[in-house]
Amino acid sequence: MARWRLGFVIPAFLLGLVIAFAIFGDFLTPHDYGTSSLLNRNKPPVFAGGSWAYPLGTDGLGRDLLARLVFGTRISIGLALVGTLIGAVLGTVLGLIAARSNNLIGALIVAGIDLQAAVPFMIIALATLAIFGNSLTLFVVILGLYGWENYARLVRGSAMSAHTLPFVEAARSIGVGAMTIDRRHILPTVFNVVIVQATLNFPQTILLESGLSFLGLGIQPPFTSLGQLLGEGRDSLGRAWWLAVVPGTLIFVTTLSVSLLGDALRDRLDPTMRRG
């Protein structure tokens, strides 16, 4: 029990710091994320000999990195939350349908799960953005489609087991509709699986957004994200290394804390893991 609490509290604390930074970070700097000052180009951060006027330094256009980091963290976490929510809802609904469908619809859903799992999603995302162009709506849709097959596969397996439970069979025998059974009886039994998978899928969604933005296919100026900040700093590693190291570190801390949190929740909510 003490080990589980330690494995839960530490990543939860780190994630709380990141969220607090995204929400209240504007109070740490008087500068706007988009305001540039060519007289203050590539100022180093405080820990590298800079001044407190720009605690994390500036970029090649004289923009405050701290202010841009706050705004980028909000965008990255917000997109990851929306994408994770879309994927969880879509995968859960399709998994529930596939679990009670022995017809063509169920077969198509299972085939879609296998196809999605077989093809690297980054290739699908790059091809989609190359064909249809980049827009915020399409980008959110791509993030939402990422990982839906994991939810669908897990929910389908858990729901198929739940359909054999006595109270589910009793409800079916008295004529309760399939959707009502899913909503009242099946969904509560698979909810823990969905929550754990969401915590594991969230950091992967952040990495997907960061990777696409790093390549210039994600968030576009004047907005910014952690991936875009990392991409902008890659060409300045020799003269302004902080432009890439600082946002890269924040991405690492965020994804690591959520991943550890997901592992702790899985160990807590999964009966087989608890017995182990």
pLDDT for 1 equals: 55
Across the range 58-82, mean pLDDT stands at 91
pLDDT for 271 equals: 52
Share of the chain above pLDDT 90, in %: 24
pLDDT for 135 equals: 84
**Taking the model in full, what pTM does it have?**
0.85
pLDDT for 66 equals: 92
CATH topology of domain 80-275: MetI-like fold (1.10.3720)
pLDDT for 80 equals: 92
Question: Is residue 275 over pLDDT 70?
Answer: no
Question: Is residue 254 over pLDDT 70?
Answer: yes
3-state secondary structure the chain: CHHHHHHHHHHHHHHHHHHHHHHHHHHHCCCCCCCCCHHHCCCCCHHHCCCCCCCCCECCCCCEHHHHHHHHHHHHHHHHHHHHHHHHHHHHHHHHHHHHCCCHHHHHHHHHHHHHHHCCHHHHHHHHHHHHCCCHHHHHHHHHHCCHHHHHHHHHHHHHHHCCCHHHHHHHHCCCCHHHHHHHHHHHHHHHHHHHHHHHHHHHHHHHHHHHHHCCCCCCCCCCCHHHHHHHHHHHCCCCCHHHHHHHHHHHHHHHHHHHHHHHHHHHHCHHHHHC
Question: Is residue 125 over pLDDT 70?
Answer: yes
Question: Is residue 173 over pLDDT 70?
Answer: yes
Q: How confident is the model at residue 276 (pLDDT cuts 50, 70, 90)?
A: very low
Q: In this predicted model, which residue has the larger pLDDT, 119 or 70?
A: 70
pLDDT for 89 equals: 93
Question: Is residue 272 over pLDDT 70?
Answer: no
Question: Is residue 220 over pLDDT 60?
Answer: yes
Across the range 194-199, mean pLDDT stands at 88
**Domain chopping of the chain, boundaries:** 80-275
Q: In this predicted model, which residue has the larger pLDDT, 4 or 70?
A: 70
pLDDT for 3 equals: 57
